[in-house]
Structure 1
Amino acid sequence: MTATNDNATAADFIEVGEGADARRIAVALQPPAAGNTLAHLVWLGGYRSDMAGTKAVELAGLAARLGTGCVRFDYSGHGASGGAFVDGTISRWLEESLAVIGHAGKTLGTRRVVLVGSSMGGWIALRAVAELASRQDIEIAGLVLIAPAPDFTAELIEPNLTEAERTALAERGQFEEPTPYGPDPNIYTLKLIEDGRANRVLTGVIETGCPVHILQGMADPDVPYAHAVRLMEHLSGDDVVLTMIRDGDHRLSRPQDIAKILEAAEVLAHGQ
């Protein structure tokens, strides 16, 4: 099943997992112009976001202007992908991310990539770098981390659980929390929280082997800017830039925010 979006990007599906664990993942691959050697841009979305969001679409637009490839997709339980959202974990969404990157390698010839991760996608980007380090077919040219939320289950959710939420996790395996970003509440499962502990990255030195640019709003109500500072302290490389946006919120979707994000992605795509 194939469709075409406004950016002339082929939208297709790949199968990830086996048997009862199999799920169809919606993927949008934007091919590079002939002879273009810039790193391809890979979008890693946030919790409950999808590849049709403002930042993802703007990133695809940048790739088109640069003539390079762009990879977008929806995690299982998100957007056009199959699977139940409540089955989602960091490990599961990481598996899908790696599968999509591998698929892009076969389909687009993707060999060098800039991972652009928003919120939870920043956590998945850091885990993906570690998983891809031993592979010879993919080189990480850089990371752009937008309001990154590594270890958010252990660092931002668990310490702030109410007694009612702890009871709901114990009795129902999940709890709901209102969100200003839509009519439906966020759902956090015990499975997600337990898996998050196994995927923590803020436990020692994080070696990415590539340049990293973090963009963080100081008015972010969801991920305190101190979290971004802490992440920077764990990154081992010297080539790490942290841009604080004083009035920026968590989404960083205003035109001026997106301009900064695209500038960072373009610099890293060029290998500068």
Structure 2
Amino acid sequence: MPDDETAGRLTVGDGPAAREIAWRRRRSRGRTDAPTIVWLGGYRSDMRGTKAERLLDFARREDLGYCRFDYSGHGESTGRFEDGTIGGWTDEAAAVLRELGDGPLVLSGSSMGAWIALNLVRNAEAFGLAGRIRGLLLLAPAPDFTERLILPKLTAEQRAAIAIDGRLVVPSAYASEPDVYTRALFDDGRANLVLDGLIDTGCPVTIVQGMADADVPFEHALALVEHLPHQAVILSLVRDGDHRLSRPQDLDLIERSLADLVRAAVELG
């Protein structure tokens, strides 16, 4: 199949803080009612992963819009990974979404990307996105992961390393390079917490969570549901699913869930 995506780069920030965000976009070829699906990847992931590619295939079959991008310090975008924060990566995501025009959006956030998605919908008006986000698909969602999932597991020595050295380096379960968590990431994370009250998304939300997830326990997804007042919230628990949710059966479930959200977005007009 020919490549029907347009690649681009977008500068976010000014002066020394400026970084170029690499993004790719597919436009619907014939549907005037087609929303754009936006892929929001996880911590240290990129826009060419298994789930991102599967969503592109879905968008092609259904003739939907599709957009994916890399946060600064990830994939094809510029910037140092260690300089990244939740707030900064959310700003980058908002800038990409504004580049898509004024059409409806369905956000699909994986792990940290779900935190970014919730940040975007909770602050949609401030980001210039009011009324555009028509659905959220959250995969192994990790909102507030710095405060709720990482900090409680750290030893006194690890906490001291963050406070004194400004960074903590730990082995990664998914890559040969270690994970790096900076003091700025934790400080900024506290300023971007979403599980500190109700999150009025104003749109349907579907969560897919593996019960064998070693990184984000399924109880975290249950806690998230308690903060979502919208009546159209669906939680699908995959008993043997891990954090990646990239097996064929997981991808099939993700696609079915996305199809339902797209249908609802179209019905909303």
Q: Give TM-score, length-normalised by structure 1.
A: 0.94
Q: Which digits, 9 at most, give the CA deviation of each residue in 1:31-81, with x for residues without a partner?
A: 111233121100000000000000011111111111111010000000000
Aligned pairs for 1:230-245 (under 5 A) are 230-245=223-238
Letter in 2 for 1:91: G
Equivalent residue number for residue 21 of structure 1: 17
Equivalent residue number for residue 8 of structure 2: 12
2:143 to 139, 146, 150: 150
Give the 4+ runs in structure 1 shifted more than 6 A: none
Q: Secondary structure at the match of 1:70?
A: strand
Equivalent residue number for residue 111 of structure 1: 103
2-structure distance, mates of 1:52, 1:42: 13
Equivalent residue number for residue 212 of structure 2: 219
Letter in 1 for 2:52: A
Provide structure 1 residue ranges, at least 5 long, that are not aligned to the other structure: none
State the Cα distance separating 1:211 from its structure 2 match: 0.3
Equivalent residue number for residue 47 of structure 2: 51
2-structure distance, mates of 1:90, 1:230: 20
1:174 partnered with 2:167: yes
Equivalent residue number for residue 67 of structure 2: 71
State the Cα distance separating 1:176 from its structure 2 match: 1.1
1-structure distance, mates of 2:215, 2:56: 26
Confirm or deny: 8 A CA contact 2:139 2:208 kept in the other structure.
Answer: yes
State the Cα distance separating 1:225 from its structure 2 match: 0.3
Q: Secondary structure at the match of 1:43?
A: strand
Provide structure 2 residue ranges, at least 5 long, that are not aligned to the other structure: none
State the Cα distance separating 1:130 from its structure 2 match: 1.5
1-structure distance, mates of 2:3, 2:57: 7
1:209 to 183, 202, 205: 202
Letter in 2 for 1:81: S
Farther off after superposition, 122-131 or 157-166:
157-166
2-structure distance, mates of 1:47, 1:6: 30
Q: Which digits, 9 at most, give the CA deviation of each residue in 1:154-190, with x for residues without a partner?
A: 1011111112211211221111111221101111000
Farther off after superposition, 189-198 or 124-133:
124-133
2-structure distance, mates of 1:52, 1:17: 24
State the Cα distance separating 1:89 from its structure 2 match: 0.3
Aligned pairs for 1:95-110 (under 5 A) are 95-105=91-101, 110=102
Letter in 2 for 1:266: A
1-structure distance, mates of 2:103, 2:131: 5
2-structure distance, mates of 1:40, 1:264: 15
Q: Secondary structure at the match of 2:137?
A: strand
Confirm or deny: 8 A CA contact 2:98 2:129 kept in the other structure.
Answer: no
State the Cα distance separating 1:104 from its structure 2 match: 1.4
Equivalent residue number for residue 118 of structure 2: 126
